[in-house]
Amino acid sequence: MSNVPLKRKKHTKVYTDEDGIINVVYHNTVVISIDQKKLKITLNNGGWKTNTTKNRINQAAREYNLGFKIHQINYAWYVWTENSLSDFRNLMTIDYPENNSR
């Protein structure tokens, strides 16, 4: 686990679009979009189930206090939240945490 902020990670950029959505891009894939107005988070690995892609998503979840983590078991990805465990699906949407202090 690295203490280097996402914005300084190799091949990674973070930007806020005109709608106020925070996007984390790894290479050319938006791996996570955070919509604080609609209270939704969109996850996307772009078909790349690599450790680095998973790590970028997990680091964004930590840095933005999003209340979830991606786990991998036997090559399958899962999304763990405080209340649930579900299979990871590209472009899946999860709820923005109500208790987020950001």
Q: Which long-range contacts (CB under 8 A, 24 or more apart) does 34-39 make?
A: 34/60, 34/64, 34/66, 34/96, 35/96, 36/96, 36/102, 38/96, 39/95, 39/96
Pair type for strands 76-81 and 92-95: unpaired
> Please, are residues 56 and 50 in contact by the beta-carbon 8 Å criterion?
no
Q: Which pLDDT tens digit goes with each residue over 42-98? A: 999 999 999 999 999 999 999 999 999 999 999 999 999 988 899 999 999 999 887
pTM for this predicted structure: 0.88
- Give pLDDT, residue 101: 57
Q: Could you state, in order of their start, the residue ranges of all structural domains in the chain? A: 6-95
